[in-house]
Structures are given as C-alpha cells and as structure tokens.
Amino acid sequence: ASPFAPRHLLSIADLTPSEFATLVRSAYAHKQSVKTGEGLPPSLRGALAGQTVAMTFSKRSTRTRVSSEGAVAALGGNPMFLGRDDIQLGVNESLHDTSVVLSSMVAAIFARVGPHSDVVDLARHASAPVLNALSDLYHPLQTIADFLTLHETLAPSATPSAASAPSGTARAASTGANLGLGGRKLAWVGDANNVLFDLAIGAAKTGVDLVIATPPGYEIPQPIREQIAAAAAEAPAPGKLSEMQDPAEAVSAADVIFTDTWVSMGQEEEKVKRLRAFEGFQVTEEMGRKGGAKDGWKFMHCLPRHPEEVSDEVFYGNRTLVWKEAENRLWAAIAALEAFVVNKGKIE
Ligand code: CP
Ligand code: NVA
C-alpha cells in the first residue's frame, strides 16, 4: 500500500448521494460561469499548473479523451496521453509496477481499461487519484455528464423553461441529493452495460425512476442489481428500478429514453448474435408513441452511436440531447478533477 492513500473515482457507487449531486452541481456551475464569460472560479484557475495528469487508454476514445485532456488543460495542467502502445499497461510489466511508477510522477491518472479489475488494481497501488475513464463495468464520468444534462433539461430550478416538475419532485426535495429530478422517469432500451450500471446507481441515489428493457439473456447481472439496491438503500429519497423485456412497456410515461451500443468494447465477437437478439429495440418515434412516452420525451445516448440503435429521425431530431450530453463530458471532467485532485477527494 502507498503511504498516501488517495481517493479514487471508479464508479458512482464510490460517492454518497449528496457527493454525487454536488459533483453534478459543480459541473453545472462551472459550465454556467465559463459560458457567461466569468470563467472558472479562482480556486481552479491554474490549479494544476506545473503538474501532469496521465491518461492511460487501452481502448480508443473520442469524448473521454478530449474532455479529460481539455479539463486538465483548463486547470493549467499538462495532460499526457498514453495509448496502448505507448506504455507497459498490463503488458510486459505488472499493473502494480506501472501504477507505483506512474503515480509517483503525476497528479492523477485517467484510466480506460478492459476488465474493471484492471482499474481497481491500478487504484490499489497508486499514490495519486485514479479516475475510471471506462471499464467493462462502469463509466462514472459519463454518468456525471448525463445527470448534468438531465438537470439542465428537466430541473425547474436550472432551466426556467423546463416542463413543470412532476408531483414526485417533492420526494428528493430538501435533501443533499436533490438535483430537482425526483419523480422523473428514465427509460433505458437496450443492452445492460457499463454505461447503464453507473446511470442506474446515480438514478437510485437521486430519486429518479429508471425502467429498463433488455432482451432475454441480456439483463443486469445480479451483483450489479444488488449494488443498485444498496445505492437506493442509502439514498434519502431513492429512485425506483424496474426491469422488463418489452421496450414499448418500458417507455410508458418516460421523460427521457436512453440507449447505447448493443456491442460494447470487448464484445466484438458476439456482434452477429447481439444484433439479432436486439431486433425491435431500435428507439423510434413509433416506440415512444406506442408505449405512451411523455409528449415531449427526450433522447440520450453516450455515443458513439450506430444506426440500428436509434432512428435518424430521433437521433438528429428535436428530441435529441446527445450533443449537449457529449459537451457536458468536459464540465463533468472539470468537476471530477476539482473534487478528486484539487480538493483531494473532499466533496462538499
Ligand atoms: N461516451 C464515450 O465515452 O465516448 P468515447 O468512447 O468516444 O470516449
Ligand atoms: N458501452 C460502450 C460505451 C462506450 C463509451 C462500450 O463499452 O463500448
């Protein structure tokens, strides 16, 4: 074990409900102040000057790479991208050795890995905070950006023009976990994957109901289901999780319909089988109509998107939040660096 044990962000499960909400609110506040010309707060300006943040990515990335490099630069630090052929990341050197050496020279490590156990291993031996930039189980930086997007779009306090809040909003009111989203309903139509797992944990913590439709055989694994239930148990006003197989039933009364790729990184050899299993799961106008989604339902997807997952009409139409969601990765990364690196894991 390292003499200094930093706090890491490996999953939304690592955060209390109020810490999670604070991260989302900080991301929102930083976005607002930069967009209005005020700039980042003095506590963040130059906060990483003279420091390097390593970005060890064993898989390719557009959004996570650009947002994390951009966030480090915004705080005055030097982002150092280390791709799979650049360093010995679990190849020719143990993760233990890489972790000890790397973390002795940098302020933090963003790590994109295959198996989640790799990022756990890196974090266990690192003397600097490790931020999970996607593993096969979790994508916490995506979830912070997704809740920022939901907060901006659906929370009456954030957006005066947002549709009036449903009656359940009171459920999460006056708690530290209040993002103004209590009683909102999200529908996830597609694969039960890494992006969904952290989204579901975040929803449980912030009083947002989530209904999931997956084809038979592609459900949430039991250990993750238990983790979502544990997240709900610690929440002051938990969101409810429901699971089913019929997409139309799942989208009933939904405020937002989500999906993601049906073939995540590392599952490429299952592609043909998966495309067959997910037939009928494409998100379309008809699905929303047939299932009785709210009139103004919105669409979210972490990207990259493939046409079989969502029709062009929905993806490029006025329901889409995907561009804002992608941009919000930058504000989420800034909030994560602030919390885990600048403030050394103190989130309040
Ligand atoms: N959403 C997301 O993480 O995209 P990238 O794989 O391009 O980083
Ligand atoms: N579920 C996808 C997310 C990509 C950002 C994957 O793991 O490939």
Contact 120, 2 (CB under 8 A): no
In a domain, 242, yes or no: yes
Measure Cα distances from 12 to 128, 172, 204, 228, 230 in Å.
19, 18, 11, 10, 12
In a domain, 231, yes or no: yes
Could you tell me which of 240, 260, 143, 242 has the C-alpha nearest to residue 199? 143
Could you tell me which of 258, 333, 339 has the C-alpha nearest to residue 293? 258
pLDDT, one tens digit for every residue, the chain (348 residues): 445 689 999 999 999 999 999 999 999 999 999 999 999 999 999 999 999 999 999 999 999 999 999 999 999 999 999 998 887 777 788 889 999 999 999 999 999 999 999 999 999 999 999 999 999 999 999 999 999 999 999 997 775 445 445 544 444 444 567 899 989 999 999 999 999 999 999 999 999 999 999 999 999 999 999 999 999 999 999 999 999 999 999 999 999 999 999 999 999 999 999 999 999 999 999 999 999 999 999 999 999 999 999 999 999 999 999 999 999 999 999 999 999 999 999 999
Are residues 99 and 231 both part of a single domain?
no
Query: What does the pLDDT read at residue 171?
Result: 45
Q: Mutual orientation of helices 17-35 and 140-154 as an angle, nearest 10°?
A: 70
Query: What does the pLDDT read at residue 170?
Result: 44
Are residues 126 and 33 both part of a single domain?
yes
Are residues 125 and 195 both part of a single domain?
no
Residue 77, domain extent: 12-138+329-342
Are residues 196 and 283 both part of a single domain?
yes
Of all atoms in ligand 1, which is nearest to the CA of residue 303? 1
Are residues 26 and 160 both part of a single domain?
no
In a domain, 347, yes or no: no
ipTM of the complex: 0.99
In a domain, 87, yes or no: yes
**Residue 246's domain is classified under what CATH number?**
3.40.50.1370
Ligand nearest to the CA of 259: 2
Q: One of 302, 310, 321, 333 is an active-site residue; which one?
A: 302
In a domain, 348, yes or no: no
Are residues 209 and 293 both part of a single domain?
yes
Residue 104 CB–ligand 1 contact under 6 Å: no
Residue 14 CB–ligand 2 contact under 6 Å: no
How far does the centroid of ligand 2 lie from the alpha carbon of residue 139, in Å? 8
Query: What does the pLDDT read at residue 318?
Result: 98
Are residues 75 and 102 both part of a single domain?
yes
Are residues 240 and 150 both part of a single domain?
yes
How far does the centroid of ligand 2 lie from the alpha carbon of residue 287, in Å? 23
Are residues 52 and 96 both part of a single domain?
yes
Residue 303 CB–ligand 1 contact under 6 Å: yes
In a domain, 2, yes or no: no
Are residues 105 and 204 both part of a single domain?
no
Would you call 281 exposed, middle or buried from its count of C-beta atoms within 10 A (0-12, 13-18, 19+)?
buried
Q: Tally the domains of the chain.
A: 2
Respond yes or no: is residue 198 known to be catalytic: no
Ligand nearest to the CA of 302: 1
Are residues 266 and 163 both part of a single domain?
yes
| Ligand 1, pocket-test mutation among 59, 60, 63, most atoms within 8 A of CB | 63
Residue 264 CB–ligand 2 contact under 6 Å: yes
Residue 137 CB–ligand 2 contact under 6 Å: no
In a domain, 4, yes or no: no
In a domain, 3, yes or no: no
Are residues 85 and 198 both part of a single domain?
no
